[in-house]
Chain A
Amino acid sequence: MISSKLLGIVTLTYLICMVLYFTYLFFRNQKFSTVITGITIAGWVVHTLALGMRWYESYQLGYGHIPLSNMYESLISLSWTTVLIYLIIEFRYKIKALGIFIFPIVSIAMAYASLSPNIQDEIAPLVPALHSNWLTYHVMTCFLAYSAFAISFGASITYLIKFRKADKSTPAEKDLSGFFPPLESLDEIVYKTIAIGFLLLSIGIITGAVWANYAWGSYWSWDPKETWSLITWLVYAAFIHARLTRGWRGRRTAILSIIGFAAVLFTFLGVNFLLSGLHSYGSS
């Protein structure tokens, strides 16, 4: 299938991006920077085409569904939203440092999806319950939220590294940490991406509830995936209150953001692989 081939190219491109972003750490140069961004955008465009192809191919097979239905498609789509949000942040804040954290995550996700024997990459028909437009609204908003949280996680890690280096570093290291944006910008990115992610996650949980109500007559049934998305939401609500009402900044909020991202990972992967419930489609 064409989509699989394209996705192979995309995975390779993101791996190259990962190397390039690391190289950029040591060779900071305007031209090189433009080239990296160009390659990233090219990779993302091919990624978009590949997802579109896969969608089209599913229609040809007579199933006709958006590529969001199983673990393979989830990982691929989640990588797509993550690179999208990463690019937006790179343009908005003129910051390349986060690429060092984002592209390893994205490459691993893409490679794992294609290579792991636990994950089926065929286009499979949907069970009747998943046959709904709400699938698109629900999963897309959740994935965009997860991606925003991933960026905030990257920014938090960067913050902590830079924070430790800030006072006791040799000139060479100082130079390296000069590559990272100033602490205040990082702190702002952590907060901004969480604000975006929180709003999207709220919408994601609500569209999920509306859908559940349509499909099986109950908007909330405390199934593990639902409960974990609520836990994630509560952790980020704690982050928001810590920052807005208690005046926490910097290190402490960065740590909260990392805890939040751990909850995101568990909601997305842990629940499917370790617990069981209505959403356990991902384990197939």
Chain B
Amino acid sequence: MPAKAKKGIIHSVKDLLVSIKLTIPLLIILSIVCLIGTLIPQNESPEHYLKLYRESTYNILATTGCLDLFHSWWFLLVMGIFTVNLIACSLNRLPGVWRLIFHGKTILDEHFLQGLSCVKKFTLKKFSPDQETRFAHIISDYLKKPTVIRQPGEWNLFSESGHYTRLGFYLTHLGLVIIIAGAVCGILGFQGYLQITEGQTSDSFILKNSNAIKHLDFSIRCDRFEVTYYGDSQMPKDYKSDLTVIENGKEVLQKTIEVNDPLIYRGIYFYQSSYGAVPDESGNVLIRVTHKNSGKQEELNLKAGSSTRIAGTAYEIRLDQFLSDFSMDSQGKPFNRSSKLNNPAAHLTVLNQGKEEYSTWVFAKFPDFHKNEAQQFDFSFVNFSPKMYTGLQVTRDPGVWVVWAGCLFLVLGTYVAFFTSHRRIWLRIEEKGGEFKAVLAGSTNKNHAQFNRDFETLFKSIK
């Protein structure tokens, strides 16, 4: 491609990027992209998608980034173009707006008059300094004290208010750019999850995106966890955790957190997000096994999901599941009704040389329930002392205050841009052949109807 044509394309792309013609299409494109992002469920598991779509469709959606649309490269590209367009357009207009604010026209000339919608011409028989003061008074009652520029045979009164409000939409756009910048800063932060059993201390948590473990420079102890309910109902009213921050072996901060009231330490937020019960502090269940034939007893420390061999036999016991509030649904399938410790139960499977023989439920509160004569073992809980754990969301977002600052600018700017106006009044009086020719003119950048009515009143009181 010849160098000249190439330069032409670059130039026209550049011209388009800085043009306000691009803004409305961009706003509409962005809406459509967001719309697509709500029609296709985001960040679900492949199984979920394969239930919704055919595999070929799923593959296309996955490779084009439509399943995590708001983080896909092309969404970021659209946002980037949006930001560039916003900044470029605003800067383009800055010199003009600047001139309007700080070097506005104070003296009327014929050419300028033609562009104004509110103009009244009239003739005065005489004009004296007294009258000048009177006009200045009327105008300052109406708007602001006018500046008076006197020239031989010519007087110019000029008054304006709200010239700074021309900057309103700059504030809006600046706010938007700051919000976007704040969102970008968010990349430096993290989000994760932390589960602490009552009485335990933890100094690490699991990151949301990578499932990696991240260490903190301090540790958090959960002293107590509590759920409160509405009256006698099962409906939780609030979750609360008493947390203590420990740094270098010293307790530095204590706070009771609840939903909507997090703990903040060193810019890291700990939110109350969930809770539940674990069999004991270590997450293990201590089960007593009785050999029916010999009456021999043994205590096994079982970890969820793993199996333990009974010494001297080929049998292994596996802890499949622990429920804090065992219940059955309409099909007779067990489920955890709540995280309260109403009916703790463990599901055990007996394996003989690695082969599953049978399974059974063991209940903490009903040790004799479910006993089966035909089976060679009896199971029961030993010293059952389950604990509640508190589930905390851990986040750090260094951009969040930047975003709030941007939001403040955006709201203030939008208010100024819509609901305040820049109003100007000129009065020019020229002496011509013994008469005084006067021109009263006015302009506003908003709310023209009201301004026109006010202008009429002003004209009547001056004439």
Contact = CB atoms under 8 A, between A and B. Distances in A.
B31 A235 contact: yes
Interface in A99-132: 125, 127-129, 131-132
A77 B303 CA distance: 52
A238 interface: yes
A196 B419 CA distance: 9
B294 interface: no
B188 interface: no
Contact of A128 (B31, B38, B258): B258
Contacts of B400: 213, 219
Contact of A214 (B183, B236, B260, B397): B260
B301 to A, nearest CB: 35
B31 A231 contact: yes
Interface stretch (A4-12, A46-54, A173-181, A220-228): A220-228
B238 A199 contact: no
B419 A195 contact: yes
Contact of B236 (A128, A206, A219, A241): A128
Q: How large is the interface on B (under 10, 10 to 19, 20 to 34, 35 or more residues)?
A: 35 or more
B23 A245 contact: yes
B235 interface: yes
B411 A203 contact: yes
A145 to B, nearest CB: 12
A241 B27 contact: yes
Nearest to A198: B414
Contacts of A227: 34, 37-38
B269 A217 contact: yes
A199 B38 CA distance: 24
A202 interface: yes
A218 B233 CA distance: 31
Contacts of B404: 210
Contact of A202 (B35, B37, B414): B414
A171 interface: no
B89 to A, nearest CB: 9
B31 A222 contact: no
Given A131-B238, A132-B260, A217 B271 contact: yes
A170 B236 CA distance: 66
Interface in B190-225: 191
Interface string A152-167: 0000000000000000
A131 B260 contact: yes
B233 A230 contact: no
Interface string A121-154: 0000101110110100000000000000000000
Contact of A216 (B27, B236, B271, B418): B271
Interface residues of A, number: 44
Contacts of A125: 230, 233, 235, 237
Contacts of B30: 234
Interface in B222-255: 230-231, 233, 235-239
B416 to A, nearest CB: 10
A275 interface: yes
B262 interface: yes
A228 B38 contact: yes
B419 A222 contact: no
A63 interface: yes
A128 B262 contact: no
A132 B31 CA distance: 30
Contacts of A220: 183
B411 A234 contact: no
B27 A238 contact: yes
Contact of B260 (A195, A209, A215): A215
A203 B415 CA distance: 11
Nearest to B42: A222
Nearest to A194: B418
A222 B258 CA distance: 24
A245 B20 contact: yes
A210 B42 CA distance: 23
B259 interface: yes
Contact of A241 (B23, B70, B410, B418): B23
B259 A131 contact: yes
B81 to A, nearest CB: 14
A234 B31 contact: yes
B393 A202 contact: no
A63 B230 contact: yes
B302 interface: no
Contacts of B261: 214
A242 interface: yes
A265 B195 CA distance: 40
B314 interface: no
A241 B418 CA distance: 12
B234 to A, nearest CB: 11
Contacts of B233: 125
B28 interface: yes
B407 A206 contact: yes
Contacts of A263: 31
Interface of B: 20, 23-24, 27-28, 30-31, 34-35, 37-38, 42, 70, 183, 191, 230-231, 233, 235-239, 258-262, 269, 271, 273, 393-395, 397, 400, 403-404, 407, 410-411, 414-415, 418-419, 449
Given A216-B271, A222-B70, A235-B27, 7 more contacts: A128-B237, A128-B258, A195-B419, A203-B411, A210-B404, A219-B400, A241-B27
The 6 closest A-B pairs by CB, nearest first: A128-B259, A217-B395, A238-B27, A195-B418, A234-B31, A224-B38
